[in-house]
Structure 1
Amino acid sequence: SLRARRAVRGRWTAWARDRRDAARPLLWMHAPSVGEGLQARPVLELARRERPDLQLAYSFYSPSAERFARGLDVDAADYLPFDTGGDAAALLQALRPSALVFSKLDVWPVLAAEASRRGVPLGLVSATLAGGSSRRGGLAGGLLRDAYARLSLVGAISDEDAERLVALGVRADRVRVTGDTRYDQVWRRAAAADRASPLLAPLAPERSGGRFTLVAGSTWPADEEVLLEAWQTLRRQDARARLLIAPHEPTPAHLGPVEAWARAQRASLARLSAVEAGEATADVDVLLVDRVGVLGELYAVGDAAFVGGGFHAAGLHSVLEPAAYGLPVAFGPGHGDSRDAGLLLAAGGATAAATPRTLAELLRRWRTSDSLRRRAADAARAVERAVLGADGRALALVRELLGS
């Protein structure tokens, strides 16, 4: 993070000097990491398609988002400098944005203050604030209140989020409920999945004789402790059941224990990289995903999904991708801060399992009952389908900011 920012002010300034067209408006969107970037991307894509006159700039904070940012169709993308007065003034002077829009929640106080002083309209899209967020009070709330009060327009995910954002400092007359653009993003990605692609074709059900396949995504060791014990139980009932597991951090230290477990269970295992290189077959008991960036497509070959984080302090990871593919979803008990998980649970599209025994029983029911699995899958897709269109509503909000 420090190394990437050593010359970031100069990089932004150089781009603006060489490529900023003063005759065209510029939309600057900021998203701290990949999750927020997924909410920003649909807005940027619509803006590119509907407003070809716009120049688009995209900034991010976390190094994990660097690769994601390179894949966006924008005119400029780079790290956001640390929130200092000098850097904020330099970037605003160079970019001369027509509007600055933040994604999800993070609004940088110094940047917001400097932008407001220069008359740059400020927005926030797919805005959400958890009920237990530390920002709602104490020192954090006091430091951030002025920044949120400076926002010109805010598109909240839900009525509850809108109320909490107003309590945080956003003016009530500037908030409207527009929904979560992530739903549109993952829905389109699922609809466009190419099952004949080099990635997915070797994993197709017909290649493995129709094996029941569980895709376990973004797992941590604490998740795997429960998941793998439950999977042992399932394999005693169906030795041909197949597990695709994508650890959240596919490092040697994380992959090694999964491989050791498979050997102890006498289960055949291959790494995804070996399958892609033609060095191993995908018709194995356990396929271990050893690289990032492909999980959102791998759900396409599953019969059911397990999403990690529910047994880990980091919290539950995204349940939207498997739901968009029409998979019933299982996860651990730590899902209280996930609005998406709550919606799926209420609709019957997901189930929380707190122990290996309850998870094994859930997987057994999904494996043995097509109708039960299909009902849960249909419910999961219905949840997402019902809230599509947030990207268009967010873009309408951005249009207002640009017009002002």
Structure 2
Amino acid sequence: MKFLYFIFIRLLIIGFRLGSVFNSKIRKGWEGRKKSNIIVKNAFSPNDKVIWMHAASLGEYEQGLPVLEGLKKKYPDYKVLVTFFSPSGYENVIKKKTIADAICYLPFDTRKGVASFLKHFQVELFFTVKYDYWYNLLSELKQRQVKTFVVSALFYPSQVFFKPYGKWMVAELKKNINWFFHQTKDSLALAQRVGLSQSSLSGDTRYDRVKATKANFEEIPLVKKFKNQSLLLVFGSSWEAEEIIAEKVAEVNSDVKFIIAPHDLKRVSILKKKFPQALLYTELDEQELENNKENNILIINTIGLLSRIYAYADITVVGGGFHSAGLHNILESAVFGNPVLFGDKYRKNPEADALIEYGGGKSFSTPEEVVQFIQSLILDESLRKRMANSAEVFISNQPEATEHILSKF
């Protein structure tokens, strides 16, 4: 199996090289990796003690960030490195103000590449988020006696670890990782079943993240003024399916306000064609709102606002659940006590099942079903309030995962 992993990495590199010619996202990852060594060499000296967080993409970064921030407070003299596998994570975070001293792509997982990368700094703590494992890297960190952890670990039955051919990978994890902090009881049980006894249940750090967002909430005056006293539906991280839902609901509810925040800003032009009278957030000011009181649709054409926009919602639809890309963050909405509606493609999102069980969320197999249920929520205030209260209670009942994890360091 070790030899097959070697072949896999070589094929991955070839795939990236060829794919970079045709695909802009792959090209960003390919070109970005050429700069990773230079970035860490410029940011660190060989003797710098570094806390290193690796995240596959943006969602995992958000999941690991509370732990990273806590570790930085605990070890203020240590420097911080954040690496990504995917451009969608790197491209987003590199534009933000962060606590990281360096942000770059994770080099391809060859022994030579890993060793070359690590010679520029001294890793004191390393953690990866959820389930992004690179076995040459883990082996090299073990040889250097680096404490290595997995935050918000998530195992599920269809993973390779639970197949006959996954024994080598399980053995590598058992040998090279000090501790797994699991999101769910099911994940913990699966890990222990294959001998990964260095495990505990911590819960999901994303709950801590959204609780902090609510506790430190900052108003968005223009969104508040747009909502006014109206019922507000927020479509967060929308894909085409959610936008079809918005269109159908808007056709028969002119007295309801709508905010649509697409998952990709490239969809803004599509939305503007679908809703030609809609307002664009970046073009808004108080006078514009005053002059366009009859316009009940607002398109968010900038990033970074959605988690706060949910505070103004009465009903929310979160995107991705009707798409193979998977469900986006439902917790950002639930923390503000909103009914949360979404498609049923969420296998890797155990929090969705938990929210449904509490009564704060509901999944659907078709967009048409969502349209019908939204109409029920619009007409039935008591149903809205029951779901809203259930969502809020669900979040407040979750354990402090970050606190549990930091207590082990």
Common topology (TM > 0.5): yes
Alpha-carbon separation, structure 2, partners of 1:315 and 1:221: 13
Q: Would you say the 8 A contact 1:215–1:244 is kept in 2?
A: yes
> Which of 226, 245, 254 is 1:239 aligned to?
254
**Would the aligned equivalents of 2:242 and 2:317 in 1 still touch at CA under 8 Å?**
no
Tell me if 1:261 matches 2:274.
yes
Change (3 A) 1:312 1:207: closer
Q: Is the 8 A contact 2:33 2:104 kept in 1?
A: no
Are residues 223 and 15 of structure 1, via their aligned partners in 2, closer, same or farther at CA, if it must alter by over 3 Å? same
Q: Which of these residues, 198, 202, 221, is aligned with residue 240 of structure 2?
A: 221
1: CA distance between counterparts of 2:228 and 2:199?
52
8 Å Cα contact 1:41-1:72 kept in structure 2: no
Question: Is residue 202 of structure 2 the alignment partner of residue 202 of structure 1?
Answer: no
Distance 2:256 2:213 in 1: 27
Letter in 2 for 1:137: K
With normalisation by structure 2, the TM-score equals: 0.84
- Whether the 8 Å contact between 2:355 and 2:394 is mirrored in structure 1 is yes
Q: CA 1:112/1:209 → structure 2, altered by over 3 Å: closer, same or farther? A: closer
Match for residue 393 of structure 1 among 360, 379, 404: 404
CA distance in 1, matches of 2:402, 2:82: 17
- Between Structure 1 and Structure 2, how many residues are aligned? 376
Instruction: Find out whether 1:62 has 2:86 as its counterpart.
Output: yes
Greater relative contact order structure (CA < 8 Å, 6+ sep): 1
Task: Give the TM-score taking structure 1 as reference length.
Answer: 0.85
Instruction: Report deviation, 1:261.
Output: 2.7
Structure 2 residue 143 is the aligned partner of structure 1 residue 130: no
Structure 2 portions without partners, runs of 5+: 1-28
State how 1:268-307 maps to structure 2 within 5 Å: 268-275=277-284, 283=293, 284-307=295-318
Matches within 5 A, 1:4-403: 4-17=32-45, 22=48, 25-66=49-90, 67-69=92-94, 70-133=96-159, 136-137=162-163, 141=166, 144-149=169-174, 150-167=176-193, 171-172=196-197, 174-195=198-219, 200-204=220-224, 207-229=226-248, 231-232=249-250, 235-236=251-252, 238-251=253-266, 254-263=267-276, 268-275=277-284, 283=293, 284-397=295-408, 399=409
Cα deviation code 1:18-48 (max 9, x no counterpart): xx655xx432221121111112110121122
SS in 2 for 1:59: strand
Name the SS for the 1:351 alignment partner. strand
Partner Cα distance (1:211, 1:3) in 2: 48
**Counterpart-to-counterpart distance in 2, 1:38 and 1:209:** 31
CA contact (8 A) 1:107 1:147 kept: no
> 1:152 and 1:277, CA in 2 relative to 1: closer, same or farther beyond 3 A?
farther
Q: Residues of 2 paired with 1:277 and 1:33: CA distance?
A: 36
CA separation in 1, counterparts of 2:279 and 2:79? 45
Alpha-carbon spacing, 1:77–1:357, altered in 2? closer, same or farther (3 Å):
closer
Between the aligned partners of 1:183 and 1:170, the Cα distance in structure 2 is 28
| Distance (whole Å) between structure 2 residues aligned to residue 121 and residue 50 of structure 1 | 16
Shift of the 311–135 alpha-carbon distance from structure 1 to 2, 3 Å rule, reads farther
The one-letter code of the counterpart of 1:193 is F
What letter matches 1:124 in structure 2? V
1:402 corresponding residue in structure 2: none
State the distance in 2 between where 1:277 and 1:352 align: 37
Q: Sequence identity of aligned pairs in percent?
A: 26
1:326 CA displacement: 1.1
One-letter amino acid of the counterpart of residue 205, structure 2: T
Q: By how many angstroms is 1:4 displaced?
A: 1.3
Which stretch of the first structure deviates more once superposed, 313-322 or 2-11? 2-11
Give the equivalent residue in structure 1 for 2:31.
3
Root-mean-square deviation (Å): 2.4
Distance 2:386 2:351 in 1: 18
**How far apart are 1:388 and its partner, in Å?**
3.4
Q: What amino acid maps onto 1:37 in structure 2? A: Y
The amino acid of 2:365's aligned partner reads A
Distance of 2:138 and 2:287 partners within structure 1: 51
Tell me, in whole angstroms, the C-alpha distance in 1 between the residues paired with 2:202 and 2:62. 16
Contact 1:104-1:127 at 8 Å conserved across structures: yes
Q: Report if the CA contact (8 A) 2:238-2:318 is conserved.
A: yes
Change (3 A) 1:4 1:224: same
Return 5+ residue gaps in structure 1 as ranges.
400-404
